[in-house]
Amino acid sequence: MLPSLDELLGSAHVVSLKLFDRFRGLDNREALLLEGPEGWTEFSPFVEYDDAEAANWLRAAIDFGWQSTPHALRTSIPVNATVPAVPAGKVAEVLARFPGCRTAKVKVASPDQALADDVARVAEVRRVLGPEGRIRIDANGLWNVDEAEHAIHALSAFDLEYVEQPCMSVPELAEIRQRTTYLSVPIAADESVRKSGDPLAVARAGAADILVIKAQPLGGIRAALSIIGQTGLPVVVSSALDTSIGLSMGAHLAASVPGLYFDCGLGTASLLAEDVTDNPLLPVAGAIPVRRVVPDAALLTQHAASPERRDWWLARLARSHALLAAE
């Protein structure tokens, strides 16, 4: 059942957390936290998302805070390091925040950078990780097909585990997957799953080898598990730059996935210079535990968003709730 808006508002806290490095154009990450009968949960769609998309994130928050989690198949989740589009000289500093992680996801295709910057960054990640480390790159759909082919060719020299969302559309993904067969670099889909009205289209089109699955954008743990079961493709459970509370949702999803073969993108608390708990879900020995997270009251106060931003988020919560109530 959908909790009332008053029930949601009664426990709502809006926070703004500083990042160590700019990520997705952000220096601070805002999130709205809620406490349900099953524990704390998170509603944090990025600010540019419209209400229809945000409503799915609220569905996920309610699922995690008001419903019990599925049976866990594991108690800890191996995670990857995440390297923002930083200069190559900062790579070692970033990777040091992810102790024990054997895999790194490297952001590429930043609009304010050139391919040479991506090559330098990935080369430095390979140097720091050594020959046995695993490197995956994420373009967030910012290349066209020709750019993607050129970039994948240039970056494949560093022994890539896979390329995440090199192009935005499903037809483009299918084409680049065909074009780069000779390079033997798998293609993973993220935005084409979580931002699509038909998240199964990627699998039907044979446009990806791997799916990147995020609990919040897909409407919660149960909805994500349903998509995973229907596609039959291997998955990487990832996050959307969540607080440790949102990461807990992702960890519970990853714990419920049969056959979890890849390190997951759930170590991103290491990108936050601040968090809402004094016991954050930071990687230890390359993994995070599967557990609920309770925020610290003092940190909720310390990192509270401005009154204007709080009002903006509460209004967004109300609009998203109205959309769910109308279904």
Catalytic one of 18, 90, 105, 107? 107
198 is in an annotated binding site: no
**How far are the Cα atoms of 46, 61, 135, 269, 291 from residue 81, in angstroms, in the given order?**
21, 25, 9, 10, 20
Q: Is 105 a catalytic residue?
A: no
Catalytic one of 18, 90, 195, 214? 214
Q: Is 214 a catalytic residue?
A: yes
Residue carrying the six token digits 């608390």:
269
Structure tokens at 11: 């426990």
Taking the C-alpha atoms of residue 76 and residue 117, their distance in angstroms, rounded to an integer, is: 34
147 is in an annotated binding site: no
138 is in an annotated binding site: yes
Cβ atoms of residues 219 and 34 within 8 Å: no
Q: Name residue 80's amino acid.
A: N
Q: How far apart are the first and last CA of the chain?
A: 12
**How far are the Cα atoms of 39, 86, 136, 255 from residue 289, in angstroms, in the given order?**
16, 28, 23, 10
> CB neighbours (10 Å) of residue 25?
11
Annotated binding site: 138, 164, 190
Q: Annotated binding residues for Mg(2+), as ranges?
A: 138, 164, 190
Question: Could you give the residue numbers annotated as active site?
Answer: 107, 214
